Amino acid sequence: MVDFNEIPSNIRIPGVYAELDKSNASNTLPQELQSMLVIAQRLKSMICPAIFQGGTLNNMTSGGAYTGAAVKNFRVKVSTAAATDKFKWSTDGGNTWSAEISVTGAAQALSDGVTVTFAAITGHAVNDEWRFSAYPEPSIAQKIATKVYSDAEAAKYAGYGSKIHLMIRAAIKAYEYLDLTIVSLDDAAASVAATGMITFTGNAASSGVLSLYIASKQVKILISKDDTPSEMATLLCNEISMMPDLPVVASNLAGVVTLKAKNKGIVGNSIGLGYDIAGAAGVAVAIVEMANGLGSPDIQDALTIVAGKRYHIYVSQFNDADSRTKLRDHLTFVSNAVEQRPGVGVFGLNGSLAEATTLAAGETNEIRLQCAWLRYTSETKRKYMPCEIAAAKAAITAFAHSVKVGNSETDLEVRGVPLPAIADRLTTTEKQTCLYNGVSYLYVGKGERLLVGRSITTYVSDANGALDPAFLDVGVMVTTDYCRAAWVDDVKRKFQRQKKSARTKTRLRSAIIAKAYQLQEYELIQDVDKHKNGIIVSDNLTDATRLDVEIPTAIIPGLEIIGMKIKILVY
């Protein structure tokens, strides 16, 4: 008997009719490009604080609402000192200047919604000058899933120096060929930006170079002999204002540089600061680390937007308890038997081992979440933020499983990440502690390369607290998801719209066994001969239109450990 899909049984017009049956056209295993979703904070348009360049009277402030489409660097300079002072402004580094404008004491428009306000109309000196930058509104609104192909696009879509921008950069540095989607979130309404300080003291008795490290970026200034603390602070602020991809903005006052996180919230507290100074005798530098950031946006808003789409890897900027719980619940929902859009999630940490083990196994304990950890607790100058660590580690997960589903990530290089100081590098005992506590650690290997130690989930024990290593490695969960998809896709293609006959049941069981052998050939499952008699296709007891299938499956784990015994023979 032939079952037709398109030729009706009641046709009476003479002729020869032939339909194309595509149900068996593709009998291979599915290809899966590992799609990666990044959820993090974006920025809105921003006008930075005015940086006084020195002179007589510092009383000008920048303001307004920037409407331009690109980053602009403004310079404002007093051009006439009189009973009513006058000024000019420039946006091309001082190559060209506007016509003179009389100071009014009120907010005065420059361009693109930018204003400046002088507290007094007189008392300035010619060439008193201020500089500041303005950042455009991102071109994509928050809570919209958007494909990105470069960090430059991420900056355009979510703001220069935003967490989205920096995470996309970290991911692409680690592995270029990614299928990336972003969902950005605005800062929480009641959140507070983190701040830090760099204080200069002492005049420079000789020339020198200061390198300030803000997260993973270096800001360098040349110090000239006799420079004062105020002049050095101004130089540093100017340099920061010319680097739009930094996560902070700067202002100066009497030798003190105040750094303020562009994104509000607790995320700003993780922006590391450090410095090196060469020469510049007589100059001292003191740093107050970034702190006092409060609040976070609700990650649930982003997860709700993408609930109907499949992403293989979710990367979250947020590692707080509420965000981890919501990501866990989302992954449980989209991966269940009905939704079948499974994925794994990654969050990052850069603190102590105790913090990592507490957040991973202690507070999370989830088979679909991994905690990517790189310790920066000593004198490391350049530091990736936790969100950047998560993005880089997730990119390696995508790479490994794009090459072959279920591949081990052990000893794969994570490019672009600043290396921790020697004091922060892990002992074997600490690595073992990580692996018993659900922490995917990164470590420095030979050739000063950063490597993945072992990619594991945060799941270490069952509901009763008993150790359960079944889903220790991320590859086991990824392989399990893939095998389910392979069987489901094959059955859908071949058996939807079929009659529920004894013949169909036999064919269904044969197709499932055939796919099992394919999965075994691909080295994802094993012992099909041993388990195939346990494959059951049976009628459902309450639904006459339903068949129930049971498939015993032995997943092949990754090879992570090899023990060798070397027998010494002395002649």
* The domain boundary residue, chosen from 263, 287, 311: 287
Same domain? 247 vs 326: no
What count of other Cβ atoms lies within 10 Å of the Cβ of residue 377?
Answer: 15
Does any domain span residue 181?
Answer: yes
Does any domain span residue 113?
Answer: yes
Does any domain span residue 228?
Answer: yes
Same domain? 442 vs 304: yes
Per-residue confidence (pLDDT) for residue 285, from 0 to 100: 96
Per-residue confidence (pLDDT) for residue 294, from 0 to 100: 96
pTM of the model: 0.93
Per-residue confidence (pLDDT) for residue 530, from 0 to 100: 96
Same domain? 427 vs 348: yes
Angle 136-261-347 (CA atoms, 0-180°, nearest 5)? 100
Helix and strand numbers (H, E) in the chain are 11, 28
Same domain? 340 vs 472: yes
pLDDT tens-digit series, residues 355-372: 999 999 888 899 999 999
CB 33 within 8 A of CB 159: no
CB 92 within 8 A of CB 78: no
Same domain? 353 vs 416: yes
Does any domain span residue 24?
Answer: no
Angle 447-448-450 (CA atoms, 0-180°, nearest 5)? 115
Does any domain span residue 420?
Answer: yes
Same domain? 345 vs 207: no
Same domain? 109 vs 155: no
Per-residue confidence (pLDDT) for residue 486, from 0 to 100: 95
By C-alpha distance, which of 143, 483, 93 is closest to 297? Answer: 143
Does any domain span residue 12?
Answer: no
Give the C-alpha separation, 77 to 179, whole Å: 47
Q: Is 61 exposed, middle or buried, given 0-12, 13-18 or 19+ CB atoms closer than 10 A?
A: middle
223: which 2 tokens?
């110090």
Give the C-alpha separation, 69 to 51, whole Å: 22
By C-alpha distance, which of 294, 422, 442, 476 is closest to 356? Answer: 442
Same domain? 278 vs 424: no
Same domain? 268 vs 312: no
Q: How many domains does the chain have?
A: 4
Same domain? 320 vs 460: yes
* The domain boundary residue, chosen from 232, 255, 287: 287
Cβ contacts of 262 within 8 Å, gap of 6 or more? 43, 46, 159, 161, 162, 193, 246, 247, 248, 249
pLDDT tens-digit series, residues 441-483: 999 999 999 999 999 999 999 888 888 888 999 999 999 999 9
Give the C-alpha separation, 534 to 531, whole Å: 5
Give the C-alpha separation, 546 to 540, whole Å: 6
Q: What CATH code is carried by the domain that includes residue 212?
A: 2.60.40.4390
Same domain? 374 vs 410: yes
Does any domain span residue 541?
Answer: no
User: What is the per-residue burial (b if ≥16 Cβ within 10 Å, else e) of 547-560?
Assistant: beeebebebbbbee
Per-residue confidence (pLDDT) for residue 379, from 0 to 100: 82
Series of mean pLDDT values for 10-residue runs along the chain (571 residues): 80 84 75 92 96 92 95 96 96 94 96 96 95 96 96 96 97 96 96 97 96 96 95 95 95 92 96 95 96 96 96 96 95 96 96 94 91 93 96 97 92 96 96 96 96 95 87 94 95 90 94 96 96 95 94 93 94 92
Please give the full DSSP string across 100-116, using - where no structure is assigned: PEE--SSEEE-STTEEE
Give the C-alpha separation, 555 to 336, whole Å: 19
Hey, what's the torsion of the CAs at 300, 304, 308, 312, to 10 degrees? -20
Per-residue confidence (pLDDT) for residue 32, from 0 to 100: 78
By C-alpha distance, which of 112, 106, 117, 151 is closest to 135? Answer: 112
Per-residue confidence (pLDDT) for residue 362, from 0 to 100: 84
CB 114 within 8 A of CB 107: no
Does any domain span residue 36?
Answer: no
Same domain? 98 vs 162: no
By residue range, what is the domain housing residue 275?
199-287
* The domain boundary residue, chosen from 127, 148, 164: 127
By C-alpha distance, which of 198, 93, 206, 212 is closest to 221? Answer: 212
